[in-house]
Copies of this chain bind each other. A is one copy, B any other.
Amino acid sequence: MTNTDRDRVSAAPSSPEPGALRPTRQRTAVTEALGTVADFRSAQEIHDLIAGHGEKVGLATVYRTLAALADAGVVDVLRTEEGEAVYRRCATTRHHHHLVCRTCGATEEIEGPAVEDWAGAIGRTFGYADISHELELFGTCPKCAGAP
């Protein structure tokens, strides 16, 4: 993510930078909805969460807001096996990965310096530059393993 991206969202309300995002009822609703859940949710689910909470925000706006947040690195995005995008606000904004329960969706945030190094080494080996990577782990969490 770029610094400009980050500034677009975290800019203080006092800075009149052109292109800064305005704090609106809708954007607050999306952010709060994200705060009430621990696992990855689709845009539509977020939309439903907000509706169930009494507020009304257009679906298009939910999509737009999530895109902006993802752009800013505030939320993580990944794709379900069916190709649907799901979002989650993680505790850290640092680079990390996830261990997701296939059954209940419970999610752990993972940091793995070993893998980061490995990725870089592989890139070097093949002569590739600007290596980035995408990595997610899946499994059955202890809770779900207990009740088969």
Interface residues of A (CB under 8 A from B): 79, 83, 85, 99, 101-102, 108, 110, 112, 114-115, 118-119, 122-123, 126-142, 145
Given contacts A83-B83, A99-B128, A127-B142, 11 further A-B contacts (CB under 8 A): A99-B123, A114-B114, A115-B115, A126-B139, A128-B139, A128-B141, A129-B139, A131-B138, A132-B137, A134-B134, A135-B136
Chain B residues with CB under 8 A of A131: 99, 137-139
Majority SS of interface residues in chain A? strand
Closest CB-CB distance, A147 to chain B, in whole Å? Answer: 13
29 sample A-B contacts, Cβ–Cβ < 8 Å, listed by A number? A79-B79, A99-B126, A101-B128, A108-B126, A108-B128, A112-B118, A114-B114, A114-B118, A118-B118, A122-B137, A123-B139, A126-B139, A126-B141, A127-B141, A127-B142, A127-B145, A128-B139, A128-B142, A129-B139, A130-B139, A130-B140, A132-B137, A132-B139, A133-B136, A133-B138, A134-B134, A134-B135, A135-B135, A135-B136
Given contact pairs A129-B139, A132-B139, A99 touches B83 in the complex (Cβ within 8 A): no
Do the beta carbons of A110 and B138 come within 8 Å of each other? no
- A101 closest partner in B (C-beta): B128
Closest CB-CB distance, A116 to chain B, in whole Å? Answer: 11
